Amino acid sequence: MTANDKYAVFGNPIKHSKSPQIHSAFAAQTGQQLSYRAHKVDVDKFADAAKSFFDNGGKGLNITVPFKIDAYNFADELSGRARLAGAVNTLALQDDGTVYGDNTDGAGLVRDICENLAWEVTGKRVLLLGAGGAIRGVLEPLMKLNPSQVLIANRTVEKAQQLARDFSEFGSVGACSFEALNANQYDLIINGTSASLAGELPPLPSDALTDEGCCYDMMYSAGPTPFMRWGAENAAWAVSDGLGMLVEQAAESFCIWRGTRPTTREVIDAIREELEASQ
């Protein structure tokens, strides 16, 4: 490892990315010397861009939309959690020249919920909103915490049902449409849809939360997301956005690359302050 070790995040769009700020903070905190930049990659040029990056001395990549499946296909070797997620958000150059692909999203979510927020998942009833890549990437680590119930709700119920079948080996997981959400209450509701990005809210019954129910939005923004506001309006015990997940999944990537785990609290707080100041 040298001061010339190069890392980057690939995405499109990429201007909004907090990854360079996060990893620069991690490097300073742990005494690591490296460079980290954001690169906008043409949607049909991922493989060429990744090959060029590694051929020219790159050590590791973070991957964001829309390239997580491209990264999955690019990797020479995949972690078990990447295989289950069907997507890769971290690429790491190995000593033998091959590229290892991993998915740190689920680990980031679980660490944020269980350690930063100190919410309980074990024995709780969990409702997941959405059946896309965001939910697929976090299902295994969530289910390994042994919630008493996991239900996936999605507009297209067939996608939710397929996801439930794919992860049935990890425990009992059900599926339904948004319209079928009634009469039951949940201790933890996680929004994995992109509705918040459009200022919208998944269709939820107002009584979906238990008295101590929590709401977690995997998206983040300067102010409360529509889903977070829904939680507050419906007496959620606590609400959170996904900023902590973003930083925690980055810390997992940093550990894969550099062999040391940074602390995250001060980085989360610094970005939160910046977001609030931008409002």
Residue 217 annotated as part of some ligand binding site: no
Residue 213 annotated as part of some ligand binding site: no
Residue 232 annotated as part of some ligand binding site: no
Q: What is residue 120's three-state secondary structure?
A: coil
Residue 218 annotated as part of some ligand binding site: yes
Ramachandran area for residue 236 (φ above 0: left; ψ -120 to 50: alpha; else beta): beta
Residue 221 annotated as part of some ligand binding site: no
Residue 205 token pair: 């019954």
CB-based contacts of 262: which residues, under 8 Å, 6+ apart?
25, 26, 29, 30, 251, 254, 255
Catalytic positions, written as ranges: 68
Residue 265 annotated as part of some ligand binding site: no
Q: How far apart are CA 50 and CA 31, in angstroms?
A: 27
Residue 159 token pair: 């996608």
Residue 134 annotated as part of some ligand binding site: yes
Phi, psi (deg, nearest 5) at residue 31: 70, 25
Residue 154 annotated as part of some ligand binding site: yes
Residue 155 annotated as part of some ligand binding site: yes
What are the angstrom distances between the C-alpha of 197 and each of 10, 16, 192, 226? 20, 13, 11, 9
Residue 172 annotated as part of some ligand binding site: no
Residues at the binding site for NADP(+) are 130-134, 154-159, 218, 242
Residues at the binding site for shikimate are 17-19, 64, 89, 105, 220, 249
Residues at the binding site are 17-19, 64, 89, 105, 130-134, 154-159, 218, 220, 242, 249
